[in-house]
Every structure is written in structure tokens, then in C-alpha cells.
């Protein structure tokens, strides 16, 4: 793996999610913030908003750098108001007056679009933030431009406050003494922090810890996303956290950014119901973690892999077999972006067989009804929010397991990119799989001296690999471009090969030992294989036998008859 040294005069780049290597949270004694913060508070008939606003009024962050926007999402019923104790830069937006939508994601979207802060901080309307809460969050963005921070919260079940008392207690910092965090409910994220060295070792995969109660992100990173998914009415904070990960965010738990959560959390007593509901929506939008997608051969809104390849009139003859091989891989969670001069194709009169673009017409017709294939005119800069992108020439042939091999390598080894030596193609045309989050973070660091692949290596590492690892070949060397392309399950393929070997060995045994009796060689091999796999080989063999129309069984019977003579 290659990880080029970072330029001494350049801004340090966080490698994977190792935030501690760049900034450990310790600021100089004379440090003062310079970045502005926009606090977004969605509120639905909230009875606790006044306490949240009072705590924000007592923050020690510079007043001119802090604004608070409250989104009243009650549809005009039980409208919330800005009380006496609120930050001077607080304003209220009635959602129903500016939007027909509803829900936290819709309200948050409106609030973010109405603000300009360098740091976006979404806060629930049932939080009491300690005096230095905003400062503790915001300091990270001053040293790590991709910072996405998560604060700590204690869940309090009872309280006896007035807004004035909250304001005073936050201002003199005595609010933290009212409850003992050790006696309060511990949020599930704490165990993840402990097991990942405070997310330092998480590689961003624990994005779900970035929850909406008290969480920030730099606007620089947020602007790379699609923004809030206003179709969601539960789990919207997890979905935007996934987007932030793919946009290059560095997730940092900030235990010093403390707050009291007034009442239990949403999942504290309804965890199973919430998960059952959210997992359906998450599966469509988030390819990682993989367990949510419980079916193969499905078309998901956001694919795990996006293959980008380009076709011209000169290379169009290889497009159909190349893409058919992609779509018939054992890794089925894939889309193809096919770049070509599609606007040059028309429906007017033409001499079809003599038309130099005719093969392009045929390619478009071949894949016209397969919505896994996207026809575009220009090569996309990003495949966001798909987590992995594969760039490959249209003249490359893949085998059934090629995509899975590439995905497993880059995913397991956590590389930012893997480039494969590609037969018949120069290094600048080599098949390359990219980790999207690494590319998103790396792009801003590309300079005249640092290429994209150098910057990606700085973010997450880079490696050259042999083409044989991904079973890549030059399609132009194939003389069977018209053959039927089918997906070959690796288990079935191995069984077919084993059957062929058994047949050959049995035929040799028949010739050398005509009087062999008892258990045949094929049965011995089959029993050993079945026993070694706990019976799995037998089940797979039966499935393979069915899939192959009973051919293996007939061949085995023929062998046994020959051996028993």
C-alpha cells in the first residue's frame, strides 16, 4: 500500500478517520474562534424549547458568530414562541408558511438553507446545552475542515427549572452539577466509542453515531451532499450522516460538549419498532452496512458499486458484451454509467447498416429497458452517494466474480483506491476502484504537485494489484463476443470443476483397476467434502444438480456403472 508523505507546507489531511493524528482537541491558550455557527432547531409543539433557547442565550461563544433559527413545524397548531431568554440573534420560521412539507428533515432543510454559518449545528428542542457547548463543538472545525462532531448528553427524566434558572445555571456553569451522568441512561453510542478508540479507528463506518440531538458539520462538507432527505420522517439524522460520510466528513465525538436531554430518547423504549421501520428506508439509501439489504438481484436507489465506462463509435462493438459481463456478476448491487455521444443519435431517416454510429444505436437499444444502465454525455465527477466507483475501459472483460473481488479488496483493506494492471491497456487506462469518501475528501487537496491519486492515498491509502486478482482480461482478445453471458455462481463453478476432476479420476481408476468394488472414488470425495463443510456441500451440490438439469447425477451414475463392471 502506498501512502505518500504529506507536503510540509500543506494543510494536514486526516487519514481515514484518525482525527487525533491531526488535532487532539487542545487549543492554544490565546485561541479565539473565527468561524460562524448556525444553530438549527426544529420544533413540533415543543414544551421544552424555552429551556433550549435559554441555554443558548448563555453560551460563551462570540455573540456575533452565533445565530439561532427555530423552525416551528406544528402546522399552525400550538405555535412555539421565542421567550424572554434567547440569544440576540434568534429568529423564528413557521414552516407551514413557507412549505407544504412536514417533519424534522423538512424543517431542518429549511433552516439550513436560511442560514450561512461556517458550521451547521442541529439541536433538538429538548436539550439544555452547557455553557461551552457551542465552543467545544466549533473548535474542531477550526483545525479539521471536514469535522462532523457529536456531543455528549445525559437523559434526565425529571426537572424543576424555569427558563430564567436555566439561563443563570448555564451562565455560571452550575447546570452540570444538577445530575450525576454515571447514574443516567447510557446511550448506545458510548459502547461504539469505546470499541473504536473514540471513532479514531472507525473509518467512518460508525456514521450512525452522528445524531441530530447535538451534532455539527462544516458547511463545506454539507454542501457536497444532497442535503436533507425530506421524504424521511424517522431516521433522517442517520441518513444525512451517511451522506456526510460519503462527502468526506471526519466524525469526532466531543465529550466536552455536554448537554442534558430532557426526557428519554426516541429509541430508548421503542428501539425495535424504530429499527424495523427505519431499516426499510435505510436499505434503499445506504449500501453500508450490508446487513440491511437482505436480497440480491435488487435495484436499490443507491448502489454499492457504480461502474463508469465510456463508449465511442469506434469501441461500440465491445460495449454490449462488456456491460453484460458487468451486470451478470455475482455482486448484483451495481449500476453502470455509460458515457457516450448519445445526443448524436436521432430518429430521422438514415441508412442504418451503413451508418457509422449504428453500433451505438444498437447499444442504446440493448440496454434501453435496463434501468441499471444510465446513458450520459459526460464522465461524472462523482458517483455520490454510491460508496464505490469503478472506472474501466469498455474493452475490458470481467468474469462473474470480478466485481466482488474488487469490492472485497478495497473494503477489507480500507484503501482509498486500488488500481489493477489491466491486460492490453496502459497504466492510465487501468481498471480502478475508488472509495467515494476518500475521493470526496481528497479532491480539495489536489494541486499541481499532488494528483488525485496522491491525495486519495493521503486520505486512505492506495495500491496497485494484479489483474488476475480480479480476473480482468482484454475483451479484444476474445473471439466469442456473441456467446450467451450468464452469471456463474462461484460455488456452482467449483462444483462443476470438481465433478470434471472426479470424472477424469474415475475413468483413470476404471482403466487401472477394473475390479474395484465397494464405495467409489466419487462417493469418497463427495463424503469428505460434505463432512468438511457440515453438510453445506451436499446442499449446494443438490442445487447445482437442479440448476444443471440433472447432468451431474447422470454423469455420476455412469461413472459408478463403469466402476462396478
Query: Of residues 54 and 187, which shows the higher confidence score?
Result: 54
**pLDDT reported for residue 238:** 92
Sequence-ordered strand ranges (E) for 189-299 = 214-218, 250-262
Look up residue 312 and give its three cell numbers: 465511442
Query: Of residues 544 and 95, which shows the higher confidence score?
Result: 95
What confidence category does residue 324 fall into, taking pLDDT thresholds of 50, 70 and 90? very high
Query: Of residues 532 and 413, which shows the higher confidence score?
Result: 413
Conformation bin of residue 166: beta by default, left when phi > 0, alpha when psi is -120 to 50: alpha
Cα(522)–Cα(502) distance, integer angstroms:
6
Cα(344)–Cα(322) distance, integer angstroms:
22
Average pLDDT over residues 201-215: 88
What pLDDT, in 10s, does the model give residues 112-132? 999 999 999 999 999 999 999
What confidence category does residue 485 fall into, taking pLDDT thresholds of 50, 70 and 90? confident
Tell whether the model's pLDDT for residue 7 goes beyond 50.
Answer: no
Q: How many CA atoms lie within 13 A of 540 on its CB side?
A: 18
Q: In 3D, which of 440, 395, 397 has the Cα closest to residue 417?
A: 440
**pLDDT reported for residue 524:** 58
What confidence category does residue 187 fall into, taking pLDDT thresholds of 50, 70 and 90? confident
pTM of the model: 0.84
Contact by Cβ (8 Å): 78, 113: no
- Residue carrying the nine cell digits 434568534: 90
**pLDDT reported for residue 252:** 96
Tell whether the model's pLDDT for residue 445 goes beyond 60.
Answer: yes
Contact by Cβ (8 Å): 336, 326: yes
492 membership: H or E segment, kind and range: helix 490-512
What confidence category does residue 367 fall into, taking pLDDT thresholds of 50, 70 and 90? very high
What pLDDT, in 10s, does the model give residues 280-296? 998 999 999 999 999 98
Cα(350)–Cα(100) distance, integer angstroms:
49
Q: How many CB atoms lie within 10 A of CB 469?
A: 15
What pLDDT, in 10s, does the model give residues 230-265? 998 988 999 999 999 999 999 999 999 999 999 876
Query: Of residues 535 and 205, which shows the higher confidence score?
Result: 205
**pLDDT reported for residue 160:** 92
Tell whether the model's pLDDT for residue 448 goes beyond 50.
Answer: yes
Please tell me the least confidently modeled range out of 12-21, 149-158, 203-212. 203-212
Average pLDDT over residues 29-35: 94
**pLDDT reported for residue 8:** 42
Q: In 3D, which of 527, 515, 523, 526 has the Cα closest to residue 564?
A: 515
What confidence category does residue 544 fall into, taking pLDDT thresholds of 50, 70 and 90? low
Contact by Cβ (8 Å): 13, 441: yes
Contact by Cβ (8 Å): 115, 67: yes
Tell whether the model's pLDDT for residue 267 goes beyond 90.
Answer: no
Cα(511)–Cα(513) distance, integer angstroms:
6
**Range with the largest mean pLDDT of 189-193, 209-213, 468-472, 522-526:** 468-472
**Range with the largest mean pLDDT of 173-182, 429-438, 545-554:** 429-438
Which domains are delineated in the chain? Answer: 35-286 (3.90.550.10), 305-477 (3.90.550.10), 490-563 (no CATH)
Average pLDDT over residues 89-107: 95
What is the average pLDDT score of the chain? Answer: 88
Tell whether the model's pLDDT for residue 545 goes beyond 70.
Answer: no
Distance of CA 288 to the CA centre of its chain: 5
Amino acid at each position: 500500500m502506498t501512502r505518500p508523505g504529506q507536503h510540509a507546507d500543506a494543510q494536514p489531511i486526516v487519514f481515514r478517520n484518525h482525527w487525533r493524528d491531526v488535532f487532539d482537541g487542545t487549543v492554544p491558550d490565546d485561541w479565539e474562534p473565527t468561524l460562524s455557527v448556525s444553530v438549527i432547531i426544529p420544533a413540533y409543539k415543543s414544551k421544552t424549547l424555552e429551556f433550549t433557547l435559554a441555554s443558548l442565550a448563555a453560551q460563551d461563544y462570540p455573540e456575533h458568530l452565533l445565530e439561532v433559527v427555530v423552525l416551528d413545524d406544528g402546522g399552525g397548531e400550538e405555535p412555539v414562541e421565542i421567550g424572554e431568554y434567547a440569544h440576540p440573534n434568534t429568529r423564528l420560521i413557521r414552516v407551514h408558511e413557507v412549505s407544504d412539507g412536514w417533519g424534522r428533515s423538512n424543517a431542518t432543510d429549511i433552516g439550513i438553507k436560511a442560514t450561512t454559518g461556517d458550521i451547521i449545528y442541529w439541536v433538538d428542542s429538548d436539550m439544555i446545552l452547557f455553557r461551552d457547548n457551542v465552543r467545544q463543538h466549533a473548535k474542531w472545525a477550526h483545525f479539521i475542515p471536514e469535522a462532523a462532531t457529536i456531543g455528549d448528553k445525559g437523559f434526565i427524566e425529571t426537572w424543576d427549572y424555569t427558563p430564567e434558572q436555566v439561563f443563570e445555571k448555564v451562565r455560571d456553569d452550575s447546570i452540570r452539577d444538577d445530575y450525576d451522568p454515571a447514574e443516567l441512561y447510557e446511550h448506545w453510542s458510548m459502547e461504539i466509542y469505546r470499541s473504536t478508540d473514540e471513532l479514531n479507528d472507525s473509518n467512518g463506518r460508525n456514521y450512525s453515531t452522528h445524531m441530530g440531538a447535538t451534532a455539527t458539520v462544516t458547511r463545506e462538507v454539507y454542501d457536497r451532499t444532497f442535503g436533507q432527505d425530506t421524504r424521511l420522517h424517522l431516521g433522517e439524522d442517520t441518513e444525512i450522516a451517511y451522506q456526510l460520510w460519503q462527502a468526506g466528513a471526519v466524525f469526532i465525538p466531543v465529550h466536552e460538549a455536554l448537554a442534558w436531554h430532557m426526557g428519554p430518547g426516541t429509541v430508548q423504549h421503542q428501539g425495535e419498532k424504530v429499527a424495523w421501520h427505519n431499516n426499510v428506508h435505510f436499505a434503499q439509501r445506504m449500501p453500508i452496512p450490508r446487513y440491511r439489504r437482505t436480497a440480491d438481484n435488487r435495484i436499490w436507489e443507491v448502489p454499492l458499486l457504480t461502474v463508469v465506462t465510456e463508449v465511442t463509435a469506434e469501441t461500440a462493438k465491445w460495449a454490449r458484451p462488456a456491460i453484460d459481463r458487468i451486470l451478470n456478476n455475482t455482486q448484483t448491487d451495481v449500476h453502470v454509467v455509460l458515457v457516450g455521444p448519445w445526443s448524436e443519435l436521432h430518429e430521422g431517416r438514415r441508412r442504418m447498416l451503413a451508418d457509422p454510429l449504428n453500433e451505438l444505436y444498437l447499444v442504446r437499444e440493448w440496454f434501453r429497458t435496463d434501468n441499471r444502465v444510465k446513458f450520459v454525455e459526460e464522465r461524472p465527477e462523482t458517483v455520490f452517494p454510491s460508496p464505490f466507483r469503478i472506472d474501466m475501459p469498455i474493452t475490458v472483460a470481467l468474469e462473474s466474480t470480478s466485481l466482488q473481488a474488487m469490492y472485497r479488496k478495497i473494503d477489507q483493506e480500507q484503501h482509498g483506491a486500488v488500481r489493477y494492471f489491466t491486460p492490453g491497456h496502459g497504466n492510465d487506462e487501468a481498471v480502478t476502484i475508488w472509495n467515494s469518501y476518500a475521493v470526496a475528501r481528497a479532491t480539495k487537496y489536489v494541486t499541481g504537485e499532488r494528483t488525485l491519486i496522491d491525495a486519495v492515498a493521503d486520505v486512505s491509502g492506495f495500491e496497485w494489484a494484479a489483474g488476475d486478482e480480479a480476473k480482468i482480461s482484454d475483451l479484444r482478445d476474445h473471439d466469442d463476443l456473441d456467446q450467451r453471458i450468464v452469471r456463474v455462481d462461484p460455488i456452482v463453478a467449483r462444483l462443476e470443476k470438481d465433478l470434471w476432476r472426479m470424472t477424469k479420476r474415475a475413468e483413470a481408476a476404471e482403466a487401472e483397476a477394473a475390479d474395484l468394488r465397494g464405495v467409489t472414488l466419487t462417493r469418497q470425495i463427495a463424503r469428505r467434502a460434505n463432512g468438511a463443510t457440515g453438510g453445506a456441500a451436499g446442499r449446494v451440490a443438490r442445487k447445482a444438480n437442479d440448476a444443471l438439469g440433472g447432468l451431474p447425477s447422470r454423469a455420476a451414475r455412469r461413472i459408478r456403472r463403469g466402476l462396478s463392471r
